Structure 1
Amino acid sequence: MQRIVWLDVARAVAVLGMVVYHFTFDLAMFGYIDPQTPVTGFWALFARAVAGSFIALAGFGLVLSHGQGIGWARFWRRFGIVAGAAGLVTLATYFVMPGQFIYYGVLHSIAVSSLLGLAFLRLPAGVLIVAAAGVIALPMVWRSEAFDAPMLWWVGLSPYVRPSMDFEPLFPWFGPFLIGMAVAKLVLARGNLARGDAGGIGFIGRHSLMIYLVHQPILIGLFSGWVWLNG
């Protein structure tokens, strides 16, 4: 089956952005640039943009795959893959960086948002946009000590959270997911779904999850090898 070309391209651009950011992060981690570079200024905004694009594209994909009716077997298979990958990220980062391990990163956010998104599938695009605005705005104007517990940090409404290398809590990051769903509804209404083969960049888009999982270990391995060779 031919795929939607521009959607694969969008996923590929998000993946490449992620690789660029993590390359910059690794430069800082190995001492080649200022350690604050990847977490301040442009690069901090860039990281949020990349994370938001992944989450929004997941929302788009939910409507594309299940907007006309939920295919439960297909949904649970995809959910299991994403949730399992999220678990692997948590496990790996716990052993590598226990003080800042990823307990609710991009993949965790996509998995939970996909579950919650099922309840929003029948809503029109306008309502989804309003809901997204509310989700994004809430943690800016209200937080509560009631959410200051490890089991509730993922909600994103606690005034304090445990430090993590990647943290995209429900509030505000369910907002981009809802925006992706709204965009999908608008696009589907216009029928802008040209299909074809995006070539090499399409390959990246089709295998975005695998690249997400393996690129950082590969980059760290390359940096470690460079340090060893030049040590």
Structure 2
Amino acid sequence: MVFYHAFYSMSEFFGFEIGTKLLDFFTPAEPFFAALFIVISGISSRLSHDNTKRGVRLLCIALALTVVTVVIMPMMNFEGAEIYFGILHLLSLSMLIFSALRAGLDKINPIVGFVLCIVIYILTYGVSAGFVGIAGLKTFALPAALYKTNYFMPLGFFNSSFHSADYFPLLPHLFMFLAGTFIGIYAANGRFPAFTYRRRSRALCFLGRHALVIYIAHQPVIFGILWVVEKIIAK
């Protein structure tokens, strides 16, 4: 995702042609890596001692990110980078929802829970487009009234005036997160393959422990590097 954001910034904010080509090439794979990131976050929630604390802390960071991209960056002439409900907002609320529902979710068979979440994820994937169901097979249009305002954009309902540079609504992505929490039961119970519990790479372990810091810091670092490159090229 770091590379994808780098290509996006190169293309959308600095107009580098190579960035546009790389963005076009990697865009089809972006949903897969995003889903993988969300699933891993769900798995990690089964290994956490306090998902409420993690969720609140991450939500504060997500809201700070919104302030930076919506208020501060436009003052620096960076338009179009506004993030109203990105992946950090999604993950923080997913953690809080999971924490609130955990007692009930624990009563569901992990395999049944995982399959059910994947089915709901597929059926709600088109919510942002105005329908539920499977495109090309059977769909049901949702009430147009849901899309007259942007107040419900965290759920996936918004009108044509809405724009968020990073957008991951709860529908359908909450269910991908919850699917990860059901997988996480096996991880927490030591039922993953033995090699997954061994420390094999210090570099990867470091990245795993500091994933949030890296995610937050990488975008300003990328902007800084690209800004310097742009100034050098302009000379």
Identity %: 24
Shift of 1:155: 0.5
Distance 2:213 2:227 in 1: 22
Shift of 1:37: 4.7
CA contact (8 A) 1:146 1:158 kept: no
Shift of 1:198: 3.0
Which of 9, 14, 34 is equivalent to 1:51?
34
Larger radius of gyration: 2
Over 3 Å counting, the alpha-carbon distance change for 1:51 and 1:132 in structure 2 is same
Distance 1:25 1:75 in 2: 31
Equivalent in the alignment of 2:144:
145
Shift of 1:158: 4.7
Q: Please, what is the CA RMSD of the aligned residues?
A: 2.5
Any idea what the Cα deviations from partners look like across 1:177-213, whole Å, max 9, x if unmatched? 0221122123445522624363012111110101111
Q: Which structure 1 residue ranges, 5 or more long, are not aligned?
A: 1-17, 66-70
Which deviates further from its counterpart, 166-175 or 126-135? 126-135
Is residue 17 of structure 2 the alignment partner of residue 33 of structure 1? yes
Between Structure 1 and Structure 2, the one with more helix by share is 1
Distance 1:161 1:130 in 2: 33
Task: State the AA in 2 paired with 1:146.
Answer: A
Distance 2:159 2:121 in 1: 16
Is residue 56 of structure 2 the alignment partner of residue 80 of structure 1? yes
Distance 2:26 2:143 in 1: 29
Equivalent in the alignment of 1:104:
85
CA contact (8 A) 1:21 1:43 kept: yes
Any idea what the Cα deviations from partners look like across 1:49-99, whole Å, max 9, x if unmatched? 23222211111111222xxxxx5xx33331222111101211111032565
CA contact (8 A) 1:139 1:156 kept: no
Which deviates further from its counterpart, 199-208 or 96-105? 96-105
Equivalent in the alignment of 2:213:
210
Task: State the AA in 1 paired with 2:57.
Answer: I
Q: Which structure 2 residue ranges, 5 or more long, are not aligned?
A: 127-131, 133-140
1:64-79 matched pairs, under 5 angstroms:
64-65=47-48, 71=49, 74-79=50-55
Shift of 1:105: 0.4
Task: State the AA in 1 paired with 2:113.
Answer: V
Task: Indicate the structure whose relative CO is greater, using CA pairs within 8 Å and at least 6 residues apart.
Answer: 1
Over 3 Å counting, the alpha-carbon distance change for 1:132 and 1:116 in structure 2 is farther
Shift of 1:139: 4.2
Over 3 Å counting, the alpha-carbon distance change for 1:224 and 1:80 in structure 2 is same
